């Protein structure tokens, strides 16, 4: 079910998802409308009690949706920042290797080139499918071995090597953040509470006393439209590498084109 949601065009998922909210809400209104009019005898007392319940529920449900949406967006933003930093660090590391002797720098640049292609062509498709990527592990290990084999004599080479070593440490940290984000998702209990809240919201709106059934359905449908859009947006961003709103390897492709493919060897 989740694979279908994230792999299908938004032109299909958005109308189905939000339209389903609207249709279900309207059906609840149609189902409860006769019973409400038949059972409610004191309209003023009913309206006062219902207004208090809807107001209290609306505050808690609204806060829940807002907090969840903000949390998901922050995770998405942090993941995007990690990918941008990793791509930038690869570019900086590639440039740093040009300051090392060719016997060390040339094989390092070859490995970094292979690393970028592995990330773009294998890691990101794996992450979009929800699988932890491992294709680029080989290049990282190989680069680390090359880095530890460097022997420098001059102060200039030592400075270049120190810079490369520091940048590599930052790269490993950013890479780990990118990979860990593959498993990011809201706990199932959160989604259960959200779905129950949406159902309760639709039922409470159906309890409102409105003589005109069409007007009642219009009000319920508009509210369901907004709630559905918020939940759809949250669900789509819940997995940073999948869905319409997702993180792509664009930052890596730009570094590959603008730095790695155009930087001459020393």
Count: domains in the chain? 1
pLDDT of 155 higher than 60: no
Tell whether 69 is covered by a domain.
Answer: yes
Range of the domain at 224: 24-260
pLDDT in tens, 101-142: 788 888 999 999 999 999 999 999 999 988 999 889 999 999
pLDDT-derived band at 23, boundaries 50, 70, 90? very high
184-241 per-position pLDDT tens digit = 889 999 999 999 999 999 999 999 888 888 999 999 999 999 999 999 999 999 999 9
In a domain, residue 99? The reply is: yes
Residue 91: how many other CB atoms lie within 10 Å: 22
How buried is residue 35: exposed, middle or buried, by Cβ count under 10 Å (0-12/13-18/19+)?
Answer: exposed
Q: Is residue 265 part of a domain?
A: no
19 occurs within a structural domain: no
Query: Is the confidence at residue 1, as pLDDT, over 70?
Result: no
Mean pLDDT of the chain: 89
For residue 246, is it within any domain?
Answer: yes
- pLDDT number for residue 227: 94
Nearest to 181 by CA among 94, 45, 258, 82: 82
The answer to whether residue 225 is domain-embedded is yes
Domain annotation covers residue 191: yes
Give the model confidence (pLDDT) of 234-263 as tens digits.
Answer: 999 999 999 888 999 999 999 999 988 776
């Amino acid at each position: 079910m989740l694979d279908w949601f994230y792999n299908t065009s938004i032109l299909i998922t958005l109308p189905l998802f939000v339209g389903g909210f609207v249709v279900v809400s309207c059906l609840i209104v149609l189902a409860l409308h006769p019973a409400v009019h038949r059972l409610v005898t004191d309209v003023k007392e009913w309206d006062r009690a219902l207004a208090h319940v809807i107001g209290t529920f609306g505050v808690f449900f609204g806060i829940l949706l807002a907090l969840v949406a903000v949390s998901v967006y922050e995770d998405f933003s942090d993941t995007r920042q990690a990918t941008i930093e990793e791509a930038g660090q690869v570019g900086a590391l590639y440039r740093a290797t040009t300051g090392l002797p060719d016997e060390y720098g040339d094989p390092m640049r070859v490995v970094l080139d292979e690393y970028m292609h592995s990330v773009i062509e294998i890691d990101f498709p794996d992450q979009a499918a929800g699988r932890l990527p491992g294709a680029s592990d080989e290049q990282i290990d190989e680069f680390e071995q090359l880095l530890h084999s460097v022997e420098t004599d001059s102060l200039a080479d030592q400075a270049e090597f120190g810079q490369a070593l520091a940048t590599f440490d930052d790269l490993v940290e950013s890479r780990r953040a990118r990979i860990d984000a593959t498993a990011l998702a809201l706990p199932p209990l959160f989604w259960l509470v959200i779905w129950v809240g949406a159902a309760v919201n639709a039922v409470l709106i159906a309890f409102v006393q409105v003589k005109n059934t069409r007007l009642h359905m219009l009000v319920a449908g508009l509210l369901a439209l907004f709630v559905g859009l918020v939940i759809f947006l949250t669900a789509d961003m819940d997995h940073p590498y999948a869905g319409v709103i997702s993180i792509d390897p664009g930052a890596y492709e730009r570094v590959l084109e603008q730095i790695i493919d155009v930087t001459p060897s020393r």
